């Protein structure tokens, strides 16, 4: 592993004296970007195959996003939710249209994924049923309400006791879900494809079964599309490929292309009516600057055909990885441009380090899985650069981790 050059290492030292240590020592000090490329402060270039963890949908420095933000910044940045603005109304309308949401559906804007999940928790509480069912392996955020839905013990345990009433069931097991959902269940909250757990798709038919189970029990089905939404899986929203319509979905990440914005979308008048004036709020949520960014992202995904591209490029990636013919690479899972390359051993962290040294930013999402969530504008040729390098990255992974 090459040590960061002096400029980076000096900044990283200063980081450690100024920033709370929750993220550990960052890997790079990044300075600017263009499309799927980013450069660090020492002038080294990297192919960004993480995209800010499925956030930079349009890549870095996309002219449509830069110009929309610049224009809006010169006009109106923030007004509070005592007032609204043209971008706020237009973005909400656009989201509802792309979601094929029925009449009476509504949007509540937030600033992050966890806040969107918090809003969904409040929605569930309004059913007057105290229970929430979530899945083992689920990640729904780190605020204390969302954390109660997140499954990973290492994230939860330091903060227990968490919000009561949450039951976790094995991911993809319909019978377990059916058994857990009762007349006391307000909502079932699921990721359409588990991102942080290692890009793990549901078992076939699982989401449809979840829809049936919740409908029968009178519970809400909330799909957490924070990571999967906004074209990431090749559809506007992953639920559209699964053939289900949720009662609510949460959004964030890709929506602002890097500008913080999220949302809760409630489907139909009955669910939308659960949160009435005064029941929820946010100072920043849905401000004109963030909404202008959201509009630019959605418009550009549409005008550049990025849904189709995400689907085709993801399939290209999967085919290319499968053709590598190296027994250390066992496959690819996921959808669109949310993928994990799976390995025959626990090499992912070492491979990610070797990848960084070779100029690729990837994420070791699990010990044996490397997540790729590149900008939706990444080209197939750029993806090939990584696939072609994979065997040498595995060779470079330190021996003791094999």
Compute the least distance from the CB of residue 338 to ligand PLP, in Å: 10
Structure tokens at 213: 């189970």
Helix (H, G, I), strand (E, B) or coil at 353: helix
| Strands 329-335 vs 45-48: parallel, antiparallel or unpaired | unpaired
Structure tokens at 169: 């069931």
How large is the angle between the packed helices 348-357 and 380-396, nearest 10 degrees? 110
Compute the least distance from the CB of residue 10 to ligand PLP, in Å: 29
Q: Which stretch binds ligand PLP (CB under 6 A): 135-143, 174-182, 203-211, 330-338?
A: 135-143
Residue 368 touching ligand PLP (CB under 6 A): no
Compute the least distance from the CB of residue 123 to ligand PLP, in Å: 15
Q: Pattern 254-293, binding to ligand PLP, x per CB under 6 A? A: ----------------------------------------
DSSP-assigned states of every residue in 247-304: SEEEE-GGGGBTB--EEEEE-HHHHHTTS-TTS---SSTT-HHHHHHHHHHHHHHHHT
Structure tokens at 257: 């292309």
Helix (H, G, I), strand (E, B) or coil at 349: helix
What amino acid positions are annotated as catalytic residues? 139, 224, 253
Nearer to ligand PLP, 249 or 329 (CB): 249
Q: Pattern 141-170, binding to ligand PLP, x per CB under 6 A? A: x-----------------------------
Angle at alpha carbon of residue 199, lines to 229 and 318, rounded to 5°: 95
Restricting to residues 331-360, which ones interact with ligand PLP according to CB under 6 A? Answer: none
Burial 282-304 (b: 16+ CB within 10 A, else e): bebbbbbbbbbbbbbbbebbeee
Q: Which stretch binds ligand PLP (CB under 6 A): 14-22, 107-115, 266-274, 300-308?
A: 107-115
Q: Quick one: which of 189, 213, 226, 355 contacts ligand PLP (CB under 6 A)?
A: 226
Compute the least distance from the CB of residue 250 to ligand PLP, in Å: 7
Q: Quick one: which of 139, 171, 360, 386 contacts ligand PLP (CB under 6 A)?
A: 139
> Up-side HSE of residue 108: CA atoms within 13 Å toward CB?
28
CA distance 105 to 272: 6
Task: Name the region of 35 (left: φ>0; alpha: ψ -120 to 50; beta: rest).
Answer: left
Compute the least distance from the CB of residue 146 to ligand PLP, in Å: 7
Residue 191 touching ligand PLP (CB under 6 A): yes
Alpha-carbon dihedral 81, 254, 114, 222, rounded to 10 degrees:
100
Q: Which stretch binds ligand PLP (CB under 6 A): 60-68, 109-117, 268-276, 366-374?
A: 109-117
CA distance 85 to 379: 36
> Looking up tokens 């009662």, which residue turns up?
247
Compute the least distance from the CB of residue 310 to ligand PLP, in Å: 17
Residue 224 touching ligand PLP (CB under 6 A): yes
CA distance 321 to 324: 5
Residue 249 touching ligand PLP (CB under 6 A): no
Q: Quick one: which of 4, 192, 195, 263 contacts ligand PLP (CB under 6 A)?
A: 195
Residue 294 touching ligand PLP (CB under 6 A): no
Residue 196 touching ligand PLP (CB under 6 A): yes
Write the DSSP symbol of residue 363. E
Nearer to ligand PLP, 352 or 397 (CB): 352
Q: Quick one: which of 252, 261, 341, 394 contacts ligand PLP (CB under 6 A)?
A: 252
Compute the least distance from the CB of residue 325 to ligand PLP, in Å: 32
Q: Which stretch binds ligand PLP (CB under 6 A): 60-68, 134-142, 280-288, 289-297?
A: 134-142
Provide the binding-site residues for ligand PLP, judged by CB under 6 A. 112-114, 117, 139-141, 191, 195-196, 224, 226-227, 252
């Amino acid at each position: 592993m090459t040590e960061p050059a002096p400029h980076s290492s000096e900044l990283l030292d200063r980081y450690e004296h100024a920033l709370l240590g929750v993220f550990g020592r960052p890997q790079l000090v990044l300075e600017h970007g263009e499309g799927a490329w980013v450069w660090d402060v020492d002038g080294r270039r990297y192919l960004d195959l993480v995209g800010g963890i499925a956030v930079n949908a349009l890549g870095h420095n996309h002219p449509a996003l830069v110009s929309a933000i610049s224009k809006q910044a010169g006009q109106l940045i923030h007004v509070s939710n005592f007032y609204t603005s043209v971008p706020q109304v237009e973005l909400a309308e656009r989201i509802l249209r792309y979601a094929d949401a029925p009449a009476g559906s509504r949007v509540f804007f937030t600033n992050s994924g966890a806040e969107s999940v918090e809003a969904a928790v409040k929605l569930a509480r309004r059913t007057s049923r105290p229970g929430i069912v979530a899945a083992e392996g689920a990640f729904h955020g780190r605020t204390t309400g969302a954390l109660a839905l997140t499954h990973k013990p290492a994230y939860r345990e330091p903060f227990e006791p968490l919000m009561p009433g949450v039951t976790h069931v094995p991911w993809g097991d319909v019978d377990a879900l059916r058994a857990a959902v009762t007349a006391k269940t307000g909502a079932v909250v699921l990721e359409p494809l588990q991102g942080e757990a290692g890009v793990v798709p549901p078992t076939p038919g699982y989401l449809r079964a979840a829809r049936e189970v919740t409908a029968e029990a009178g519970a809400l089905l909330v799909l957490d599309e924070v990571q999967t939404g906004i074209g990431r899986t090749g559809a506007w929203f992953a639920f559209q490929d699964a053939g289900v319509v949720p009662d609510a979905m949460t959004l964030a990440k890709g929506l602002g292309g890097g500008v913080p914005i999220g949302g809760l979308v409630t489907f139909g008048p009955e669910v939308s009516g659960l949160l009435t004036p005064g029941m929820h709020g946010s100072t920043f949520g849905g401000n004109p600057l963030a909404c202008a960014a959201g509009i630019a992202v959605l418009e550009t995904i549409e005008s550049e055909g990025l849904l189709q591209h995400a689907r085709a490029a993801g399939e290209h990636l999967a085919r290319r990885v499968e053709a590598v013919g190296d027994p250390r690479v066992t496959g690819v899972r996921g959808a669109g441009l949310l993928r994990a390359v799976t390995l025959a051993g626990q090499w992912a962290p070492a491979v990610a380090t070797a990848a960084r040294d070779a100029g690729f930013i990837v994420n070791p999402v699990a010990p044996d899985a490397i997540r790729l969530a590149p900008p939706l504008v990444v080209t197939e040729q750029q993806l090939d650069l990584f696939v072609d390098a994979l065997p040498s990255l595995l060779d470079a992974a330190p021996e003791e981790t094999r």
